[in-house]
Structure 1
Amino acid sequence: MTHIQVLSDKPTLISHALNLIVDKIHTTLQQQDKFTLALAGGSTPKPLYEALAQQSLPLEKIHIFWGDERYVPADDNESNQLMARQAWLDQVDFPPANIHPMPTNNNDPAHDAQTHEQEIREFFGVKAGEFPTFDLILLGMGDDGHTASLFPKTEALTVSDRLVTVGNKDGKPRLTFTYPLINHAHCVMFLVAGENKRPALAQIFSENGDETLYPAKAVKPQGELIWLLDEAAGAELNG
């Protein structure tokens, strides 16, 4: 089931996303004992994480992962982990054992991708060939249509037998969730803001859009797919 919502501006988008996420956490935890959340990087979700830091949440039951990570040290300003820690995770009493960052410190992206895949498998208790189901995966989208670190016409788009693989951005490696892992989620939520996203969105929501050129188009989870757009990004879709 796909929902597309165009909000008036970015603050309204963030506020709406916050309400949806908090509601999903509480609703899910009425039925199970943990909530698994994969975070997005980039600039758009930072105010969302800052807002989550102000919420009263059952942190001991929430487990944090990342959908992708730049292959830089955890204290690098480019690190998605660092951004989320500064905005949210280090601002509250989050149990360290509940935070599961992608390893990026062994100078071997392929090995680190495999290591993180094994960590995810052990956490969810799934065997090789099976895919775990995250409760919620947050994603952004670049103006080129990429999402996570699944970039146009890169090898990572074709990986179908792994949970985590090596993405490539201008020759620089990144770690990323694969399509099958993303698409096994109970819910995937895109947060997209800015007029520069309109051309890619037009292709993604077109019947004829090319998934290899606009990778976000291939995100089709078995559960719920939510697109939250600000007016600048989604005006043409709202027409």
Structure 2
Amino acid sequence: MDFKTYPDRDVLMLAVADKIASQLRATLATEGRATLSVPGGTTPGPIFDILSDLELDWQNVVIVLNDERWVPTTSERSNTRLLRERLLVNKAASATLLPLYVNAPDPDERLDALSENLRPNLPISVLLLGMGTDMHTASLFPGADKLKTALDDEAPELMALRADAAGEPRITMTARVLKDAMHTHILITGNEKKAAIEAAQSLPVEQAPVRCVLNNATVHWAE
């Protein structure tokens, strides 16, 4: 784990956005296409705002969430809605958004179709993850109903998981997909999350699912 500390959150957001853009440009130059995977939630919002205004070959960039709550995209809890409002705007409006939600009562019914859409866009070129104080990342929550399978190297690309801490059912990339990313960044703020990610290094992965990506990740932190 490469741990980088920043003097404040504004500097953190600018630096991470710049690093992501640089890695996307390098991938586009060599591959002609790139896949960017990002978390939902409010913390990465400023990074999305910065990225959306940068000159980049966005029409050859595919954007996909790490995970999604199984709620309509009109819901205030929809991560897809957040991306459409803050990332897929301005210059980044020409990027392609791969959905992780379709209108169906149960995510398990649509996993195969969503995985088929995702598969041609793997491995992820640049992966941005968040982490909860419970050491979950994406929707790999400690105590989730199918966590052991989702952490396995033979897991499918996407799984539907349910956990008390998650609220709604979630669809999430599995550990195998996250670990295969070319560049991995974890964004955290505050002392509680700093302590959590330090503790995660010595805990079993089922207790601290974020550990599955720590070996190859750069952690970006500001108080």
TM-score normalised by the chain length of structure 1: 0.85
CA gap of 1:180–1:220, structure 2 versus 1, over 3 A, is farther
Partner in structure 2 of residue 228 of structure 1: 220
Partner in structure 1 of residue 205 of structure 2: 211
Residue 136 of structure 2 is aligned to residue 142 of structure 1: no
Q: 2:218 is paired with a residue of what secondary structure?
A: strand
Larger deviation, residues 85-94 vs 37-46: 85-94
Output one character per residue of 1:168-214: Cα deviation in whole Å (capped at 9) or x when no partner.
23253100000001111111110011223133123123xx3222111
Deviation at 1:19, TM superposition (A): 1.1
Q: 2:72 is paired with a residue of what secondary structure?
A: coil
CA contact (8 A) 2:131 2:188 kept: yes
CA contact (8 A) 1:151 1:157 kept: no
Larger deviation, residues 168-177 vs 40-49: 168-177
Q: Deviating runs (4+, > 2 A) in structure 1? A: 90-96, 156-161
CA contact (8 A) 2:142 2:207 kept: yes
Residue 101 of structure 2 is aligned to residue 107 of structure 1: no
The number of residue pairs the alignment matches comes to 217
Residue 186 of structure 2 is aligned to residue 190 of structure 1: yes
Partner in structure 2 of residue 236 of structure 1: none
Output one character per residue of 1:20-55: Cα deviation in whole Å (capped at 9) or x when no partner.
011111111121110110111112100100111221
Q: 1:229 is paired with a residue of what secondary structure?
A: strand
Residue 66 of structure 2 is aligned to residue 72 of structure 1: no
TM-score normalised by the chain length of structure 2: 0.90
In the alignment, residue 110 of structure 2 is paired with which amino acid? D
Structure 2, unaligned runs of 5 or more: none
Larger deviation, residues 11-20 vs 160-169: 160-169
Identity of aligned residues (%): 26
The RMSD of aligned alpha carbons is 1.7
Q: 1:89 is paired with a residue of what secondary structure?
A: coil
The CA distance in 1 between the partners of 2:82 and 2:93, in whole Å, is 15
Q: 1:212 is paired with a residue of what secondary structure?
A: coil
Partner in structure 1 of residue 7 of structure 2: 8
The CA distance in 2 between the partners of 1:95 and 1:156, in whole Å, is 35
CA contact (8 A) 1:203 1:210 kept: no
Q: 2:3 is paired with a residue of what secondary structure?
A: strand
Structure 1, unaligned runs of 5 or more: 125-131, 233-239
CA gap of 1:36–1:93, structure 2 versus 1, over 3 A, is closer
Partner in structure 1 of residue 149 of structure 2: 158
The CA distance in 1 between the partners of 2:141 and 2:25, in whole Å, is 34
Deviation at 1:158, TM superposition (A): 2.4
Residue 32 of structure 2 is aligned to residue 36 of structure 1: no
The CA distance in 1 between the partners of 2:92 and 2:11, in whole Å, is 27
